[in-house]
Amino acid sequence: MSDDRPKSKRPANTAFKQQRLKAWQPILTPKTVLPAFFIVGLIFVPLGIGLYIASEKVNEVMFDYTECKAQTPSATFSRTPGRAPIEEWRWDGQTCFIHFRISEILVPPVFLYYRLTNFYQNHRRYVKSFDANQLKGDQIGVQNLDKQLTNCDPLREAAKVYAANLTVIVNGGPQEIKKDAQVYPCGLIANSMFSDEISTNLSCIKSDFTGFPDGQTCANVKYAFSESGIAWPSDKEKYGVTQWKDRADDVTIATTLVPPPLWREAFPQWKDGYNFSNLPNLHEWERFQVWMRTAALPTFRKLYARTTGGGSALPPGLWEISIRDTFDVAKFSGTKSIVISTVSILGGKNPFLGAAYMAVGVICWVLGIVFLIRHMIKPRKLGDHTYLSWNQPQQNQARAPGVPEVGGERSSLIGGR
């Protein structure tokens, strides 16, 4: 016999659904609130001072080289007033040579960064524009390319990116790419990769430092950085050598895989396309891995090189760095800079964190003192019923006779309920 009784919407008779779970609600009293303010201040202020001191111990040299490319090509250096620590630079039509000054010794490890402004790597479509399987090395696009690499649109199929009948150079001769050729690596992130080639050997121009290794003079000293070790180990696991390299010949690679459009302009080795020997090894290319980890803010810095094996200190003096300028920041109204920095136990230079902790601690102290003075001058008894609204004589006198108070227990009693 079927049960025709209507189904009840009443919740089950459990402690959770009937809201009978045990609960604890603290009663905030001066004896508990005032010590909390002072204890938080006592913790945050010394901690903020420590963070700030650690940040100030980081030595950092930063200079903007955006306008170097705008100079007239010349074989002589020109002075750059107002661009400290840059003292002079020159542009030869492709490469920018910069003389900059380091005022304090930089103890190892020393890190070389590039810094971009107004570049929004956090855009929703930009962040998603890559294919994890392709980056890991899978042979994508053997068939049904239109159903693969969909996250990379519009930089997925070569036919949609390049003009019709695109040819590449293979073994000294032109070859037309296939209709189903794919961009490798595909997507907006890879295509917009920072392409300036920064020299990883700094040349000493002038220095009063006398402690160079092996008694060398400044003119013979070069300070070397390395690309090795700049990517996170977890990042390296996401990239692999493409299987196309093991399963295809030179012609197939060149006509099936094409570089992103900006790579053909920025990187000379891929101007004529890929071949078996120049196909990028994404598993070992750490600068590419660093770039693919998108930044959360429009102003960011990314690691380009670092000293390895302990390294030696970078002495004060006038140093030269060369930069092959191919990354156009005018497209997004941004700037680009070089940052050479040491680190502390907390990382790079970040005075804001220490200042924020000190500010919170000081605010807690100020509030604690204000509330303490208020409590000492005019203390309030805990649970005193005279502070309730219907026990206030001034309010009762101001109300017209016979008009009930609106709200609260008093109005219910006057209304006869």
Question: What are the tens digits of pLDDT across the range 244-279?
Answer: 888 888 888 888 899 999 998 899 999 888 888 889
Least Cα distance to 336 among 349, 324, 319, 348 occurs for 324
Considering only residues 53 and 210, tell me which one the structure prediction assigns the higher pLDDT. 53
pLDDT of residue 394: 64
CA distance 355 to 357: 6
Which residue matches tokens 């006509």? Answer: 255
Structure tokens at 48: 């903020």
Largest CA distance in the chain: 106
Determine phi and psi for 53, rounding to 5 degrees. Answer: -65, -40
**CB–CB of 259/184 below 8 Å?**
yes
Compute, in degrees rounded to 10, the torsion defined by CA atoms 323, 273, 283, 224. Answer: -20
Task: Kindly state the DSSP code that residue 7 receives in the 8-state scheme.
Answer: P
> How far is residue 141 from each of residues 25, 168, 257, 299, 387, measured CA to CA in Å?
61, 19, 10, 36, 77
Strand partners, 336: 116
CA distance 52 to 62: 20
Please compute the mean of the pLDDT values over residues 204-213 and round it to a whole number.
88
CA distance 228 to 284: 9
- pLDDT digit string (tens) for 176-188? 888 788 999 999 9
pLDDT of residue 110: 94
Please compute the mean of the pLDDT values over residues 104-128 and round it to a whole number.
94
Q: Which of 54-58, 141-145, 251-255 has the lowest mean pLDDT?
A: 141-145
Structure tokens at 32: 């508990």
- Helix, strand, coil shares of the chain, percent, nearest 5, are 35, 20, 50
Structure tokens at 338: 């070089």
Share of residues in the chain with pLDDT > 90 (%) = 57
Q: H or E element: which one contains 257? A: strand 257-258
Q: Which of 16-30, 65-79, 111-125, 276-290 has the lowest mean pLDDT?
A: 16-30
Please compute the mean of the pLDDT values over residues 96-119 and round it to a whole number.
95
Q: Annotate 322-339 with b (16+ C-beta within 10 A) or e (fewer).
A: bbebbbebeeeebbbebb
Please compute the mean of the pLDDT values over residues 146-166 and round it to a whole number.
80
Mean pLDDT of the chain: 87
Considering only residues 70 and 27, tell me which one the structure prediction assigns the higher pLDDT. 70
Please compute the mean of the pLDDT values over residues 133-159 and round it to a whole number.
83
**CB–CB of 344/58 below 8 Å?**
yes
CA distance 135 to 281: 10
Considering only residues 246 and 203, tell me which one the structure prediction assigns the higher pLDDT. 203
Burial class (CB in 10 A: 0-12, 13-18, 19+), 93: exposed
Structure tokens at 156: 């997925």
Strand partners, 182: 157, 257
Compute, in degrees rounded to 10, the torsion defined by CA atoms 261, 262, 263, 264. Answer: 60
Which amino acid is located at 407 in the chain? G
Cα 282 to the chain's mean position, in Å? 21
Structure tokens at 124: 């929703």
pLDDT of residue 380: 79
pLDDT of residue 402: 56
Please compute the mean of the pLDDT values over residues 387-414 and round it to a whole number.
57
Structure tokens at 175: 């070859």
Strand partners, 300: 116
